[in-house]
């Protein structure tokens, strides 16, 4: 069962604490060589390479890469009413929350006739990757597509691995989610090859290259996104899911255990961490984990994740130390289950998404909170953010100076250009007044 890391009575330095933090043993660089080869195959051989890769990795060869509009419409028609209602509600909530992320245009007046306009331009075309391994993720369709639509992206395309049980097509629930959002450009392709197809296009399949690639995936997808960064924009190199719960003695151990299990069931590399200043809570959570694990559907992979090096119960002296540990870890999902969660929240700086109180579980964020569930993992929350409308927007500054406004700063521009030994810069300004 889950390991215990006892930090009570110690004051490790930041470097020492960083070395103690449990992490999944995933190295994106190890997959880079294989991902590069798969991308190059797609660049050289187009559709044929993608079909061969599907047969090799997904154990099925699609009849065609592009999914027909009739198939998408049929998937929407056949969608379970309860699932459709859930998807439609998620779309509404994510759309509303994403709209709040779009900055308003602004104008800065620096003087008479001198102004800088700030505007936000969407990328022209975006590609969304939706995984298709151990689970089905229609929610990821919503989380990728809706913010792009809110941002004003005019052209979108979606890719998901072909499924053997559906004749080599994309899972019908994925297709239905795409259909509900009006996405009709869908391809049955997966892995690093799909990322390469997004970045460079596949003319013989009718797939035009995109400007931005988003969405989670396995280590090969993460490696491929790293390789194409610069050719296209990417959101982040999403890795195995993570949950970190900060809890004190007032927390309900059954709820804490349930939330840890909710993420551990994703796969064997999922990270589940409890940080607490209450040893009695940690003991109760262990007992609850054992009880709930025996009854959960995916007990084998959840148990493997809990027993792995990336999962732990961390004992600390106080909640300030818990916040310090969490900030250094930079969790994808952070839950605060304490008597005064806002006091802890004041010390939190680094997390993908934060869930406050016992009635805000990570599962809520996965589906219907309105927040986005495509979040940074592997400590990337220390320097990057989750997917949102801003992911698809580029800030642009529009400069408008009139003659007298330029004359006012002409001498200073000359001083700069001479100091930098770039006299033609100053000459370009002087020329306007000769």
DSSP for 338-396, written as a single string = SSSHHHHHTT----SEEEESTT--HHHHHHTSSS------TTGGGT-----GGGGEEEE
425 is in an annotated binding site: yes
Residue 16 annotated as binding site = no
Token pair 């890469």 is found at: 65
171 is in an annotated binding site: no
Answer yes or no: 332 catalytic: yes
Half-sphere exposure of 400 (CA within 13 A, CB side): 10
In this structure, what token pair is assigned to residue 144?
Answer: 């990728």
CB distance 193 to 53 below 8 Å: yes
420 is in an annotated binding site: yes
Count of residues for the chain?
Answer: 434
- Cα separation, 338 vs 345, in Å, equals 10
Catalytic hit among 332, 335, 404, 434 = 332
Query: Is residue 366 annotated as involved in ligand binding?
Result: yes
Which two three-digit tokens encode residue 48?
């044929």
Alpha-carbon distance of 198 to 55, in angstroms, equals 19
Distance from C-alpha of 396 to C-alpha of 376, rounded to nearest angstrom: 25
Q: Is 430 exposed, middle or buried (0-12, 13-18, 19+ CB in 10 A)?
A: middle
Longest dimension (CA), the chain: 85
List 41, 171, 333, 373, catalytic entry: 333
Q: Is 341 exposed, middle or buried (0-12, 13-18, 19+ CB in 10 A)?
A: buried
- The H or E element containing residue 401 is strand 393-401
Known catalytic residue at 298: no
Report yes or no: 351 and 326 within 8 Å, Cβ to Cβ.
yes
Residue 298, marked binder: no
Residue 263 labeled ligand binder: yes
Question: Which parts are annotated binding residues for Zn(2+)?
Answer: 263, 266, 366, 425
Q: List, by residue number, the catalytic residues.
A: 332-333
Question: Which parts are annotated binding residues?
Answer: 241, 263, 266, 333, 366, 420, 425
Question: Which parts are annotated binding residues for substrate?
Answer: 241, 263, 266, 333, 366, 420, 425
């Amino acid at each position: 069962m889950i390991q215990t890391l006892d930090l009570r009575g110690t004051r490790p330095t930041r470097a020492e604490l960083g070395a103690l933090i449990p992490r999944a043993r995933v190295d994106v660089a190890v997959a880079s060589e294989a991902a590069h080869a798969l991308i190059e195959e797609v660049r050289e051989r187009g559709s044929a390479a993608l079909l061969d890769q599907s047969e090799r990795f997904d154990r099925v060869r699609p009849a065609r890469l592009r999914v027909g509009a009739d198939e998408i419409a049929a998937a929407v028609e056949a969608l379970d009413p309860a699932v459709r209602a859930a998807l439609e509600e998620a779309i509404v909530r994510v759309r509303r929350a994403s709209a709040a992320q779009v900055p308003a245009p602004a104008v800065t007046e620096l003087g008479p006739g001198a102004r800088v306009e700030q505007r936000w331009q969407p990328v022209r075309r975006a590609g969304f990757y939706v995984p298709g391994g151990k689970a089905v993720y229609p929610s990821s369709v919503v989380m990728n597509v809706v913010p792009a639509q809110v941002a004003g992206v005019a052209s979108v395309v979606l890719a998901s691995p072909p499924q053997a049980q559906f004749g080599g097509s994309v899972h019908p629930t994925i297709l239905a989610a795409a259909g509900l959002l009006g996405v009709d450009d869908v391809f049955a392709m997966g892995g690093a090859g799909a990322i390469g197809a997004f970045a460079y296009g596949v003319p013989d399949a009718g797939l035009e290259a995109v400007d931005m690639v988003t969405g989670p995936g396995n280590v090969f997808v993460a490696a491929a996104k790293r390789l194409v960064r610069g050719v296209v924009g990417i959101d982040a190199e999403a890795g195995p899911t993570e949950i970190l719960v900060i809890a004190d003695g007032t927390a309900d151990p059954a709820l804490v255990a349930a939330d840890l299990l909710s993420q551990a069931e994703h796969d064997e590399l999922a990270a589940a961490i409890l940080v607490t200043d209450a040893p009695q809570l940690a003991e109760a959570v262990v007992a609850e984990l054992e009880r709930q694990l025996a009854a959960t559907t995916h007990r084998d992979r959840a148990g493997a994740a809990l027993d792995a090096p990336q999962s732990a119960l961390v004992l600390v002296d106080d909640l300030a130390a818990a916040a310090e540990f969490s900030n250094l870890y930079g969790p994808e999902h952070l839950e605060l289950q304490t008597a005064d969660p806002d006091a802890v929240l004041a010390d939190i700086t680094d997390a993908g998404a934060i869930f406050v109180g016992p009635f805000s579980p990570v599962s809520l964020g996965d589906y219907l909170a309105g927040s986005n569930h495509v979040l940074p993992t592997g400590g990337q929350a220390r320097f990057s953010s989750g997917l949102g409308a801003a992911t698809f927007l580029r800030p642009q500054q529009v400069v408008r100076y009139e003659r007298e406004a330029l004359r006012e700063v002409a001498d200073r521009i000359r001083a700069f250009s001479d100091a930098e030994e770039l006299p033609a810069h100053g000459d370009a300004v002087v020329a306007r007044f000769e």
